[in-house]
Amino acid sequence: MSGLTRHTAAELADALAAGETTSVEITRAHLDRIAEVDGTAASGGVHAFLHVDAEGALAQARAADERRAAGSPASALDGVPIAVKDVLATEGLPTTCGSRILEGWIPPYDATVVARLRRAGLPILGKTNMDEFAMGSSTEHSAYGPTRNPWDLDRIPGGSGGGSAAAVAAFEAPLAIGTDTGGSIRQPGAVTGTVGVKPTYGGVSRYGLVALANSLDQAGPVTRTVLDSALLHEVIGGHDPLDSTSIDQPLPPLVDAARRGATGDLTGVRVGVVRELGGEGYQPGVLSRFQESVDLMVKAGAEVVEVSCPHFVHALAAYYLILPAEASSNLAKFDAMRYGRRVLPDGADNPSAEQVMRASRDAGFGDEVKRRIILGTYALSSGYYDAYYGQAQKVRTLISRDFAAAFEKADVLVSPTAPTTAFKLGEKLDDPIAMYLNDLATIPANLAGVPGISVPSGLADEDGLPAGVQVLAPALADDRLYRVGAALEAALVDKWGGPLLDRAPALATNGAVR
Amino acid sequence: MPDITRDEVAHLADLARIDLSEAELDHLAPQLSVILESVASIRGVAGDDVPPTSHALPLTNVFRDDVVRPGLTAEQALYGAPAQEQQRFAVPRILGDEQ
């Protein structure tokens, strides 16, 4: 089997099952690819990874091969390597959340998602780059330098999970894990031409996920195909007693749904086009690719209805009050006392714990993190609480009601995933509002806890860059995402004559220095 | 129109235990004003009849049997400590000069 990095995870799993290749070969091929194209932020490489664990990954691959040889693979994906966003705790492997305050921190335990990956036999290639503490839409807020979009190295890969999306798009990993608080799996998926899934809130454990905003955060798959996401989702999903918000119900059959969808039949499926997600502020090329996707769903037998979710226009504002409020509270634990970076204040003789805390937090946090901590502190302060935070929580109720009404008329809702294709690095860095607008279409799902998938919808005419179509389903109906997503993917791949990522420009190899 | 002054940012930074430099204060105050202005549209959207949602799912308490089980060893717990002494976290003095 040649070109191991070009295969999907499902293909690799089949090849492993058929004895055509080994996990060591597959893992080594991806480690080689990382060495060839990843480079560093400074060298101009993709810089999808913050830490690569070649030795650990190969040891896990050897163990996977031994299990196969003994006829007892641990799961369907046993031996297929994966990359993990650096916001999930990995025992023995650095976890920094893209922040200087956690530089060099090595957790003494695994996040449940990571433990499940290990149990299922997926070798962990390394940890992927991200916006600091998952705050951002471009991965430019990483303290370790930005990740670059494999489609155009001068552009952003989306955020905050730009590293995970870029690793998959650049063929450095067949699979990756991301986390999605306001769109951080789906939006990077859209701008890199990959598939990203935000499962139902509570459907995948958050134990060991360094919290940004507990009521919104959700880990999920980043892959090149819808089927691969379903396979990975079944590995990481399901109830976890270590997470009190984890849903104590079995997952619906996701892989079956994806396989069923791949036959291309959407007869009887009611698809709702959300009127409020697709007008002003959306790039024309993104909108025309979206319309094309809707037409293909109709061709596949779906019935399309327009639905209105009138409170979605307030989602962004509610999100940018709730998120900083929860973040300011969550990040209080970074106090330089028990772990993390400790910085002594200048000129203070025998400084107090509080002085050390202040100096450490100033030195350890980047601009965006400070901005959101201050904003959250403001939103929660007395006198403003009712006007801002309290109102935001009420708007959340209205958005959930909008979803409930829309799901009476439609089985799934669709929209473009992100309003634009990837913008240039640096372009929006000094304009937080422009940056926040990127999450316009993805945020309502996080506020209401419903699941969503982004499927590549093609290339925008004006710039030739990938766009994505988002499919949303009611809570716990994640299987609908996979059925509709796979049907759409099948129709689109047919139309393009192959996977979209085959059209991405080849990356310079060896050192990735331009 | 909501406006946030430089002094207010300094006060909030104080509450959040972050020493911001003069330059950061100059930079942050106008940015936060712009952000607050854009989120201010939320005021008045929902009336008193709308209950707030703190969480997308109904939450219930989760219990487990009170059984002793192994936790982290002292060594593991202290591994990431910036400073340690005699199997304990070593921290700067907690009390101020006046205490």
pLDDT at residue A512 in the model: 45
Please check whether residue B54 touches A, CB under 8 A. yes
Would you state the structure tokens that stand for residue B48, as one six-digit string?
Answer: 């008193």
- What does the pLDDT look like over A445-463, one tens digit per residue? 999 999 999 999 999 999 9
- Contacting B residues, span 74-93, partner chain A, CB-CB under 8 Å: 76-77, 79-83, 89, 91-93
CB contact at 8 A, A220 and A178: yes
- Residue A320 inside a domain? The answer is no
Sequence letter at residue B55: H
- What does the pLDDT look like over A2-23, one tens digit per residue? 799 999 999 999 999 999 999 9
CB contact at 8 A, A418 and A468: yes
pLDDT at residue A362 in the model: 96
Average pLDDT estimate for A140-144: 97
CATH number for the domain including A306? 3.90.1300.10
Its domain, for residue A178, covers 4-313+397-503
Please check whether residue A339 touches B, CB under 8 A. yes
Average pLDDT estimate for B5-18: 95
By C-alpha distance, which of A191, A185, A223 is closest to A463? A191
Q: Is A308 left (phi over 0), alpha (psi -120 to 50) or beta?
A: beta
When pLDDT is cut at 50, 70 and 90, the band that residue B57 belongs to is confident
- Residue A356 inside a domain? The answer is no
Domains and CATH numbers, chain B: 6-45 (1.10.20)
What rounded mean pLDDT belongs to chain A?
96
Average pLDDT estimate for A119-144: 98
A109 interaction partners in chain B (CB closer than 8 Å): 72
What share of chain A in percent tops pLDDT 90? 94
Average pLDDT estimate for A57-78: 98
B8 interaction partners in chain A (CB closer than 8 Å): 378
Instruction: Choose the catalytic residue: A23, A75, A85, A198.
Output: A85
Would you state the structure tokens that stand for residue A162, as one six-digit string?
Answer: 């730009």
Residues A278, A20: Cα–Cα separation, whole Å: 46
Q: What angle do CA A107, A94, A187 make, to 5 degrees?
A: 105
When pLDDT is cut at 50, 70 and 90, the band that residue A43 belongs to is confident
Pinpoint the alpha helices (H) of A38-91: 54-69
Of B32, B55, B80, the CB nearest to A105: B80
Q: What are the backbone dihedrals phi and psi of residue A473, each rounded to the nearest 5 degrees, phi first?
A: -130, 165
| 3-state SS record for A99-143 | CHHHCCCCCCCCCHHHHHHHHCCCCEEEEECCCHHHCCCCCCCCC
Question: Is the peptide bond preceding residue A160 cis, with omega within 30 degrees of 0?
Answer: yes
Mutate: best of B8, B17, B33, B73, partner A, most A CBs <10 A: B17
CA distance A393 to chain B (A): 5
* Contact criterion met (CB < 8 Å) for B16 and A328: yes
Q: Which range among A305-319, A403-417, B63-77 shows the weakest confidence by mean pLDDT?
A: B63-77
Would you state the structure tokens that stand for residue A294, as one six-digit string?
Answer: 């809707």
| 3-state SS record for A182-198 | CCCCHHHHHHHCCEEEE
A310 interaction partners in chain B (CB closer than 8 Å): none
CB contact at 8 A, A389 and A376: no
CB contact at 8 A, A419 and A282: yes
Decide: residue A55, CB within 10 A, 0-12 exposed, 13-18 middle, 19+ buried: exposed
pLDDT at residue A452 in the model: 98
CA-based nearest residue in chain B for residue A364: B18
When pLDDT is cut at 50, 70 and 90, the band that residue B97 belongs to is low
Q: Which range among A146-150, A188-192, B70-74 shows the weakest confidence by mean pLDDT?
A: B70-74
- Residue A329 inside a domain? The answer is no
- Residue A364 inside a domain? The answer is no
Q: Does residue A184 have an active-site annotation?
A: yes
Which residues, listed in sequence order, are joined to residue A155 by a DSSP beta bridge? A424
Average pLDDT estimate for A490-495: 98
Average pLDDT estimate for A477-497: 98
Instruction: Using the predicted structure, report yes or no on whether residue B2 has a pLDDT greater than 90.
Output: no
- What does the pLDDT look like over A79-116, one tens digit per residue? 999 999 999 999 999 999 999 999 999 999 999 999 99
Write b or e for each residue in A91-116: b if 16 or more Cβ atoms lie within 10 A of its Cβ, otherwise e.
bebbbbbbbbbbeebbbbebbbbbbb
pLDDT at residue A348 in the model: 85
Q: Does residue A370 have an active-site annotation?
A: no
pLDDT at residue A125 in the model: 98
Higher pLDDT, B14 or B59: B14
Instruction: Using the predicted structure, report yes or no on whether residue B73 has a pLDDT greater than 60.
Output: yes
Instruction: Using the predicted structure, report yes or no on whether residue A513 has a pLDDT greater than 50.
Output: no
pLDDT at residue A280 in the model: 84
pLDDT at residue B28 in the model: 94
Please check whether residue A317 touches B, CB under 8 A. yes
pLDDT at residue A510 in the model: 63
- Residue A387 inside a domain? The answer is no
Please give the tally of structural domains in chain A. Answer: 1
Instruction: Choose the catalytic residue: A75, A137, A160, A229.
Output: A160
- Residue A322 inside a domain? The answer is no
Instruction: Using the predicted structure, report yes or no on whether residue A426 has a pLDDT greater than 80.
Output: yes
Higher pLDDT, A281 or A210: A210
- Residue A372 inside a domain? The answer is no
Mind giving me the DSSP string for A324-373? HHHHHHHGGG--SSSSS---PPTT-SS-BHHHHHHHHHHHHS-HHHHHHH
Q: What is the dihedral of CA A444, A448, A454, A458, to 10 degrees?
A: -30
pLDDT at residue B64 in the model: 84
- Residue A194 inside a domain? The answer is yes
A318 interaction partners in chain B (CB closer than 8 Å): 42
Q: Does residue A160 have an active-site annotation?
A: yes
